[in-house]
C-alpha cells in the first residue's frame, strides 16, 4: 500500500461537560494507508467513535495533528471543514440517518446539491450509486418503505455518490441481523477491494471486524495493538 491516507499524530481530545473535563483520547498516533480497510474496536468509552469523528472531520482535536489525503484538517475552520467533508469523506451511521421525507434517490442526491452538477448529471450519479449498492429498483421508495438492510445500502450509496476517497462508518451493522450485516460488510469489502475506497469502521462486533484488513484496539483513549 502507498502513502497514508490518514495520519493521526499525537492527538488528544478533551470534552468539557459543565465544569468537568473528560480526556477521551491521550496522545494517540496512527497511520491508515490508502486503500486500507480498518476496524476500530474497543469497549464502550474507549474513544473509538471520538477517533472516527476526528478522522471524518466532524470534530477537532484538542491538540495534535490530523492529516487526511495530504490535508491538515485540524487547522480548518468550520466552513472549510464542511466543504472538505462534502468532497472527501462519506459517512455511514448505525441508525442510517436518512431523511424520512425524501425517497431513496432523494437521499442519495442530497450531497450532490453541494456541487455544481446539473440536475441531469446529479440524477445520473445517483443512479450509478444505487446500482453499486444493488438498490436501483427501490429508488422511488421512502425510508419507511425499506428494510433495515436496504436503508443502510441507501446510506452507503449516499456516502459514495460524491466519490470520496475515505468512508467512515460508525457501527454500520449495529442495528442489523447477522445475515444483513454480512451483506453490508460484504458490500464495504467490494468498495474497498474493487473501488479502492479507504474505509474505517467502528464496531464492537468481532465478526464484523473480520471483514476488515486489520483491526485496531482502543482502550481508555489509547491504541493497544494492531491485528491484521
Partner 1 sequence: MTRTGFVIANLFRKRVRTILTLLSVIMAFLLFGLLQSVNTIFSAGADFVGATRLFVQARVSFTTALPLSMLPKLEAIPGVTRVAYQQWFGGVWLKTNTQLIMFALEPQRYHDVYPEWKMPEAQWQAFERTRTGLIVGRQLANQYGWKLGQRVPISSNIWPQKNGSKAWEFDLVGIFDGKDEDWQKRTNLAFMQQDYFEEANQFGIKGRTNFFILQLAAGANAEAISKTVDAMFENSPDETKTQTEKDFNISFVKQIGDIGLMVRWILFAVFFTLLLVVGNTMAQSVRERVPELAVLKTLGFSDRSVLGFVLAEAFVLVLAGGLVGMVLASLAGAMVEKATGGQFLLEVNGGVWFLGVAAIVLMSLAVGLLPALRARRLKIVDALAGH
Minimum distance, C-beta of residue 158 to partner 1, in the bound complex (Å): 8
Which residues of this chain interact with partner 1, rule CB under 8 A? Answer: 53, 56, 58-59, 78-79, 82-87, 91, 93, 97, 99-102, 105-106, 109-111, 113-114, 119, 122, 158
Minimum distance, C-beta of residue 1 to partner 1, in the bound complex (Å): 27
120 — alpha (psi -120 to 50), left (phi > 0) or beta?
Answer: alpha
Report the alpha-carbon distance of residue 90 to residue 88 in Å, rounded: 7
144 vs 179, beta carbon nearer partner 1: 144
113 vs 228, beta carbon nearer partner 1: 113
Please, are residues 176 and 169 in contact by the beta-carbon 8 Å criterion? no
151 vs 215, beta carbon nearer partner 1: 151
Minimum distance, C-beta of residue 117 to partner 1, in the bound complex (Å): 12
Minimum distance, C-beta of residue 107 to partner 1, in the bound complex (Å): 9
Report the alpha-carbon distance of residue 42 to residue 48 in Å, rounded: 7
130 vs 211, beta carbon nearer partner 1: 130
2 vs 118, beta carbon nearer partner 1: 118
Minimum distance, C-beta of residue 210 to partner 1, in the bound complex (Å): 27
Amino acid at each position: 500500500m502507498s502513502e497514508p491516507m490518514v495520519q493521526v499524530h499525537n492527538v488528544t481530545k478533551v470534552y468539557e461537560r459543565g465544569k468537568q473535563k473528560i480526556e477521551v483520547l491521550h496522545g494517540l498516533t496512527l497511520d491508515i494507508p490508502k486503500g486500507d480497510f480498518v476496524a476500530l474496536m474497543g469497549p464502550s468509552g474507549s474513544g473509538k467513535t471520538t477517533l472516527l469523528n476526528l478522522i471524518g472531520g466532524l470534530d477537532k482535536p484538542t491538540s495534535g495533528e490530523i492529516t487526511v489525503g495530504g490535508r491538515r484538517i485540524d487547522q480548518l475552520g468550520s466552513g472549510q471543514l464542511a466543504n472538505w467533508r462534502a468532497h472527501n469523506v462519506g459517512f455511514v451511521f448505525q441508525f442510517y440517518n436518512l431523511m424520512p421525507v425524501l425517497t431513496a434517490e432523494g437521499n442519495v442526491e442530497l450531497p450532490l446539491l453541494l456541487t455544481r452538477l446539473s440536475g441531469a448529471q446529479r440524477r445520473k450519479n445517483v443512479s450509478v450509486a444505487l446500482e453499486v449498492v444493488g438498490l436501483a429498483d427501490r429508488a422511488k421508495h421512502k425510508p419507511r418503505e425499506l428494510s433495515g438492510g436496504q436503508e443502510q445500502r441507501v446510506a452507503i450509496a449516499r456516502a459514495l455518490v460524491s466519490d470520496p476517497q475515505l468512508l467512515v462508518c460508525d457501527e454500520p451493522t449495529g442495528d442489523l441481523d447477522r445475515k444483513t450485516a454480512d451483506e453490508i460488510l460484504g458490500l464495504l469489502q467490494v468498495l474497498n477491494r474493487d473501488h479502492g475506497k479507504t474505509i474505517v469502521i467502528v464496531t464492537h462486533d468481532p465478526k464484523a471486524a473480520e471483514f476488515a484488513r486489520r483491526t485496531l484496539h482502543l482502550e481508555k483513549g489509547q491504541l493497544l495493538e494492531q491485528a491484521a
